[in-house]
Every structure is written in structure tokens, then in C-alpha cells.
């Protein structure tokens, strides 16, 4: 009876989630899933996304998987839109299998799409209770080592000798020992977390939603106090020397800790003078600040140095920029060749190139200061080794680059952003179809042809020669189609 009521409640919740989705995204249709019931579907275009929903009638692990002859991908979200997990090929071939621990009454949304843009067709999905999920963990033998010197527990917790008993949701049990190569129980990974903030740290062991814990003993520290001897502040102009964190909405300052000398006083009143980079009693100095909770502001901002429970402080001083405006007389003369490894880095996960336009040869700019004075700087005032202009630090900010063209970059000098344009040239290529000259033929080359034909991004002469894949003397939509068919292994 209780499960029937839970099911009815789930149906109500699912339809309420569907209504919200329809309002927020316009044309989203969410298909409700039913336990152990196959659902047939079809992706009719390369950009299709199908949405499914499921409400658990009871707590437990559930598997949502696909059966198809092409490559599918799933993103699982909770009712608040937060991503719970994603999966690509866990069900073998190109099929996904997402295993999710669900709470009774919670609604989950499954977004299904083709992993490759050339794949579409019929497939089916299925949701069932996972019969191998770990529901509970029990420690049957504690690790051999439970006592640690102060400070060392963060670096070398030794789990040797630990033994566990795992119970599955079908009642079966598995005995597991840390002295094995496998850190999995029936495919579920084990993870270990240590709460160092407690006087005696607590070790928590997780396997999915199942967990257990035990306590470590930390011996008292023999360090009474530490004192920074050459405690000189570090200066930055506002909004320089770091990066703007778009997610958190504040400027994060990056700094290198000076090689401070530190006086260590032990509990027996003996002292020792060491470098901040030295180890003391197998412990390293910890340096931390509060930028994430209390952003650095103009003036002094504390940075803490800690060792064995004792700590001292030095300061990062943020100065107001003395610059009121700037005029770029000449931009740097350097032109960059797309994907040149000396200046470009590539992120394979986001498929984005980043340019570091560090060559300032030929630059000339005039700075107007807030005190009414002005000064013109050229590349003769630049010391590239120390990254200073006329003795003041400068920072050339990296920028994202998608292809050749003109890009706006930023030079931060004395806390003031100076903008100018640099040119990114296409990489020389002799590969027919490699329109963006990055060394490979990809869907980006077909897109470059389409943008050229739409008069949104014209091709250079050498690119037009590479784009003429059918050798008819002109760039047409047929050339883009040739590339797409080749990538799909159809020609």
C-alpha cells in the first residue's frame, strides 16, 4: 500500500516537473519511465535531445541504459537541474548505462542524445533496480596503523590491514581487503575521505551511497610557535596578477610565497631557524588565505603560514591603480600562426585553443596617470625576463582562439587593462579539406566552408584551395558535404 501511494505521488511530481520544464524551455517533452519496461524511441536529427523522467518509489540504486546500434550519450539531472552523472559507453559498444542512487519520491530527468553528430536512428531505453548495488559497509578489521604524529596524517594515511564486509541490495555479501589491487566492490569504486578538522580525524569510507567510518589518533604537536623573521608584504595593483573567476564573481590573486626565514620554537623551548620551503619533523609549512570566503580588497589582506598547529601571518597589499587612461600608439608587430605550440595550448576536453600573446615587440602606448602626468612606453622599456615595464609588473592575459583571424587581447599594466588587436594566421597545410589549417580534417572545416558561403567569415586564398574538395575550381556547399560524408565513412 505504501509503495502504491509513493507511485501515485511520483506521478504527480513527474507531471509537475514536466510542466516547469515546458514553461522554462518552451518545447521540451519529457517522457515518463516505468520500472522494467522497455521504451522505444528515435532520434530524427543530429541535434535531437530526448527527455525522460523517473520518480523512485523507494530508496535504492537504479540503472538506466540504452540498446542501439550507434553511439548514445546520457546526462542525468535531479529535479533542480543539477547534473547527477553522465555516461557514454558503460553498456558496451555505443550504449550508455547510468547507475544512480535515488531517494523515494525524488524525480530525475534523463537527457539522451547522440554522441556523434552523424548518428541518428531508432533505439530503446530501460530502467531497472540495480541488483549489485552496495547498500551497507561494515568494518571487520581496522587498519594496522591508527596513531600518527601531528601533521603527518594528511599525507600518509596507511589503510593496510583494513577489511570490510559489503552487503548488496539482494542480500549477498562480499568480503574485501585493502591489501588487494582492486579498489572496487562489484564494480562500485571505494573512496576514502579524512576530516582533518577534528582533533582526532575521522576516516569515512564510501561505496556509492553506503558508508562507514573509523577514528585515527593524532599525537600532540611538539611545536609551540612559529615566527616569520623577514615579514615583508607582497604588493599587487588591483585586478592584476591573477584572474577573474566568472563562476564565483570575484578577482582571484595568484602569488608566489617569498622564501621567508621562520623561527620555530618547540615545546621544550629550543628554537630553530628554517626556510618556509623546509620540512620540519616530516611536516611542510602550509600557506593559505581567505580569498574564497572573504575576497581580497584594497589594503592589507592576511595570508597564514601554519606548521604543527602553530601559525603566523604575512600580508598581500592591494594597491589602487594609478592609471586613469591609456592610448595604444602601436600594437605589437607579432603575428601568430594558429596552433603554434610555442604560443598556443589546447584543451582536448573543451576543444578550445588558448593563445598566450606574450611577444610585445614593437608596442608603444601612452599612459595618463591620475596625478595628471603622462608617459609613453615602448618595447625598449620591457624586461621580458622579469615581466616588468619600466620596473612595474605587467601581465599579458591569454585569450580563447577558434581559428585564424583578428583577436582582441589585454595587457594589464599597473592594474589597468590595455586592449589591442593581434593577428592569428592560418597554419600552412597541404591536406585537402583542412580548411582551418589545424592539421586534421574535421567538422570544423565543413563549418568554415558554410560560414564562408554565408559571407560570415571569408576564407583566405590558400584556404579556398584546400576547401575545393571536389576540384571543380570553386568553393560550394558540395565541398562541405564531401567533408561530412568522408567523416561519416560514407565516401
pLDDT digits (tens, 9 = 90+) for 276-294: 999 888 788 989 998 988 8
- Say how many C-beta atoms besides its own lie within 10 A of residue 57's C-beta: 19
Task: Tell me what the mean pLDDT of segment 232-236 comes to.
Answer: 88
Lowest mean pLDDT among 206-215, 217-226, 404-413: 206-215
With beta carbons less than 8 A apart as the criterion, state whether 263 and 229 touch. yes
- For residue 434, the model assigns a pLDDT of 85
Give φ, ψ of 332 to 5 degrees: -55, 145
Q: Which strand (E) or helix (H) includes residue 449? A: helix 443-453
Question: Among residues 131, 133, 208, 138, which one has the least CA distance to residue 175?
Answer: 138
Q: Where are the domains of the chain?
A: 2-129, 134-218, 223-319, 323-425, 443-487
DSSP letter (8 states) at residue 295: -
Q: Which of the pair, 285 or 12, is modelled with greater confidence?
A: 285
- pLDDT of the residue at 193: 85
Cα–Cα distance, 22 to 25 (Å, whole number): 6
What pLDDT does 213 receive?
Answer: 94
pTM of the predicted model as reported, rounded to 2 decimal places:
0.51
Q: Does domain 2-129 have CATH number 2.60.120.380?
A: yes
Q: Would you state the pLDDT for residue 201?
A: 86
pLDDT of residue 16: 47
Residue 118: what pLDDT?
52
219 or 108, greater pLDDT: 108
More confident residue, 41 or 198: 41
Q: Express each pLDDT in 143-194 by its tens digit.
A: 999 988 776 666 578 899 999 999 987 788 989 999 876 777 776 668 888 8
| Of residues 1 and 407, more confidently modeled | 407
The mean per-residue pLDDT over the stretch 395-410 comes to 88
SS (H, E, C) 259-287: CCEEEEEECCCCEEEEECCCEECCEECEE
Query: Is there a common fold for 134-218 and 223-319?
Result: yes
What confidence score (pLDDT) does residue 119 get? 57
Give the whole-angstrom CA distance, residue 374 versus residue 211: 65
Q: To which H or E segment does residue 310 belong?
A: strand 310-319
Q: Is the pLDDT of residue 26 over 80?
A: no
Q: Is 321 exposed, middle or buried (0-12, 13-18, 19+ CB in 10 A)?
A: middle
**Three cell numbers, residue 54:** 523517473
Looking at residue 24, its pLDDT comes to 37
CA distance readout (Å), 325 to 16, 244, 372: 54, 21, 11
Question: To 10 degrees, the CA torsion angle through 269, 273, 277, 282?
Answer: -40
Which CATH number is 134-218 given?
2.60.40.3630
Q: What pLDDT, on a 0 to 100 scale, did the predictor assign at position 47?
A: 64
Q: How confident is the model at residue 32 (pLDDT cuts 50, 70, 90)?
A: very high
Helix and strand numbers, DSSP H then E, in the chain: 4, 41
Q: What is the mean pLDDT of residues 262-280?
A: 94
| Residue 112 clears pLDDT 80, i.e. is over it | yes
Please say if the pLDDT value at position 208 is more than 70: no
Residue 473 confidence (pLDDT): 84
Q: In angstroms, rounded to a whole number, what is the distance separating the alpha carbons of residues 401 and 398?
A: 10
pLDDT above 50 for 451: yes
Helix (H, G, I), strand (E, B) or coil at 454: coil
Sign of the four-CA dihedral 337, 339, 341, 347:
positive
Angle 474-480-482 from CA coordinates, rounded to 5°: 95
Who has greater pLDDT, 151 or 8?
Answer: 151
Place of cell 520544464: 21
Specify the fold of 223-319. Answer: Immunoglobulin-like (2.60.40)
Place of cell 585493502: 178
d(CA 226, CA 312): 6
Which of 29-43, 114-128, 314-328 is least confident?
A: 114-128
**Distance between CA atoms of residues 291 and 422, nearest Å:** 33
Answer yes or no: are the C-beta atoms of 260 and 311 closer than 8 Å: no
pLDDT grade, residue 28 (50/70/90)? low
Higher-pLDDT residue of 112, 115: 112
Over residues 475-489, mean pLDDT: 89
Cell numbers 560570415 correspond to: 456
Give me the pLDDT at residue 277, please. 93
CA distance 292 to 323: 28
Give me the mean pLDDT over the 24-47 stretch. Answer: 75
Strands 283-284 and 279-280: antiparallel
Q: Which residue has the cell 585553443?
A: 353
Q: What pLDDT, on a 0 to 100 scale, did the predictor assign at position 17? A: 45
Amino acid at each position: 500500500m505504501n509503495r502504491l501511494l509513493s507511485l501515485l505521488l511520483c506521478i504527480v511530481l513527474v507531471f509537475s516537473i514536466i510542466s516547469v520544464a515546458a514553461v522554462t524551455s518552451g518545447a521540451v517533452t519529457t517522457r515518463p519511465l516505468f520500472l522494467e519496461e522497455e521504451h522505444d524511441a528515435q532520434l530524427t536529427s543530429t541535434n535531437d535531445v530526448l527527455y525522460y523522467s523517473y520518480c523512485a518509489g523507494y530508496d535504492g540504486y537504479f540503472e538506466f541504459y540504452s540498446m542501439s546500434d550507434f553511439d548514445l550519450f546520457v546526462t542525468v539531472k535531479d529535479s533542480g537541474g543539477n547534473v547527477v552523472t553522465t555516461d557514454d559507453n558503460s553498456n558496451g559498444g555505443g550504449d550508455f548505462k547510468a547507475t544512480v542512487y535515488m531517494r523515494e519520491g525524488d524525480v530525475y530527468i534523463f537527457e539522451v542524445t547522440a554522441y556523434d553528430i552523424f548518428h541518428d536512428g531508432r533505439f530503446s531505453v530501460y530502467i531497472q533496480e540495480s541488483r549489485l548495488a552496495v547498500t551497507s559497509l561494515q568494518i571487520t578489521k581496522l587498519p594496522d596503523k591508527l596513531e600518527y604524529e601531528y601533521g603527518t596524517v594528511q599525507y600518509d594515511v596507511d589503510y593496510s590491514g583494513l577489511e570490510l564486509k559489503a552487503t548488496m541490495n539482494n542480500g549477498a555479501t562480499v568480503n574485501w581487503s585493502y591489501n588487494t589491487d582492486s579498489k572496487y566492490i562489484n564494480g562500485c569504486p571505494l573512496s576514502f575521505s579524512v576530516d582533518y578538522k577534528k582533533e582526532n580525524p575521522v576516516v569515512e569510507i564510501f561505496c556509492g551511497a553506503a558508508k562507514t567510518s573509523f577514528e585515527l589518533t593524532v599525537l600532540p604537536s611538539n611545536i609551540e610557535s612559529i615566527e616569520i623573521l623577514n615579514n615583508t608584504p607582497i604588493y599587487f595593483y588591483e585586478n592584476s596578477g591573477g584572474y577573474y573567476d566568472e563562476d564565483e564573481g570575484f578577482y582571484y590573486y595568484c602569488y608566489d610565497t617569498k622564501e621567508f626565514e621562520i623561527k620555530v620554537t618547540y615545546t621544550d623551548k629550543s628554537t630553530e631557524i628554517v626556510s618556509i620551503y623546509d620540512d620540519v619533523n616530516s611536516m611542510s609549512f602550509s600557506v593559505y588565505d581567505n580569498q574564497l570566503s572573504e575576497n581580497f580588497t584594497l589594503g592589507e589582506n592576511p595570508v597564514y603560514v601554519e606548521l604543527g598547529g602553530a601559525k603566523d601571518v604575512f600580508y598581500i597589499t592591494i594597491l589602487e591603480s594609478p592609471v586613469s587612461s591609456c592610448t595604444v600608439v602601436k600594437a605589437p608587430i607579432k603575428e601568430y600562426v594558429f596552433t603554434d605550440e610555442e604560443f598556443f595550448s589546447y584543451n582536448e576536453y573543451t576543444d578550445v585553443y588558448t593563445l598566450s600573446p606574450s611577444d610585445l615587440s614593437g608596442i608603444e602606448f601612452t599612459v595618463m596617470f591620475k596625478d595628471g602626468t603622462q608617459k609613453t612606453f615602448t618595447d625598449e622599456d620591457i624586461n621580458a625576463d622579469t615581466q616588468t615595464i619600466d620596473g612595474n609588473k605587467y601581465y599579458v592575459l591569454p585569450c580563447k582562439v577558434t581559428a585564424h583571424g583578428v583577436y582582441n587581447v589585454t595587457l594589464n599594466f599597473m592594474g589597468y587593462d590595455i586592449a589591442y588587436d593581434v593577428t592569428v594566421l592560418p597554419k600552412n597545410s597541404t591536406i585537402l579539406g583542412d580548411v582551418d589549417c589545424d592539421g586534421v580534417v574535421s567538422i570544423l572545416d565543413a563549418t568554415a566552408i558554410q560560414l564562408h558561403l554565408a559571407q560570415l567569415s571569408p576564407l583566405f586564398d590558400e584556404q579556398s584551395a584546400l576547401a575545393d574538395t571536389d576540384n571543380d575550381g570553386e568553393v560550394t556547399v558540395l565541398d562541405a558535404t564531401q567533408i561530412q560524408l568522408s567523416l561519416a565513412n560514407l565516401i
